[in-house]
Structure 1
Amino acid sequence: MKRFNRFMYPPWLRTCRAIAAQFCIPFCIFQAIRTILIPTTFDVLLLAVLILIATAIYLEII
């Protein structure tokens, strides 16, 4: 199976990934505070998605 090399991505995709990496953790923190104060199903699901995206970027899966 071919391994993905993140340097083979087009420049616009690398830029989007860098922007997402910068904003993902602050959004996770904000969403966690919001979920603690006013927990709704949407907030919990959004927090889970944001944590998965942050983990994927940190582990360089995407």
Structure 2
Amino acid sequence: MKGFFNKNKHRPWFRTFRRFCGQLIIPFVIFQFIRTIFLPTVFDVLLLSFFIAIAISIYFEII
């Protein structure tokens, strides 16, 4: 399955955008985690899980 994926099939602006998001997602996850610890609402937990899912997908290059 890994050999089927071609990294160069995406356009250059998309690769730049993905790198940009990769740099910003970790501070967002940390900030949202601290906010969820102090004010745990349903929205905060869902937003934290969404940010973690994005961080994992960028780290493992799923998207």
Provide the TM-score with structure 2 as the length reference: 0.89
- What's the counterpart of residue 47 of structure 2? 46
Q: Distance in 1 between matches of 2:34 and 2:43?
A: 14
Give the Å deviation of 1:4: 2.8
Provide the TM-score with structure 1 as the length reference: 0.90
Percent sequence identity over matched residues?
Answer: 56
Q: Distance in 2 between matches of 1:34 and 1:3?
A: 40
For this pair of structures, how many residues does the alignment match?
A: 62
Residue 42 of structure 2 is aligned to residue 31 of structure 1: no
- What's the counterpart of residue 12 of structure 1? 13
Partner AA of 2:51 in structure 1: L
Q: Distance in 1 between matches of 2:4 and 2:31?
A: 34
- The 4+ residue runs of structure 1 with deviation greater than 4 A are none
Residue segments in structure 1 that go unaligned for 5+ positions in a row = none
Alignment RMSD: 1.5
Residue segments in structure 2 that go unaligned for 5+ positions in a row = none
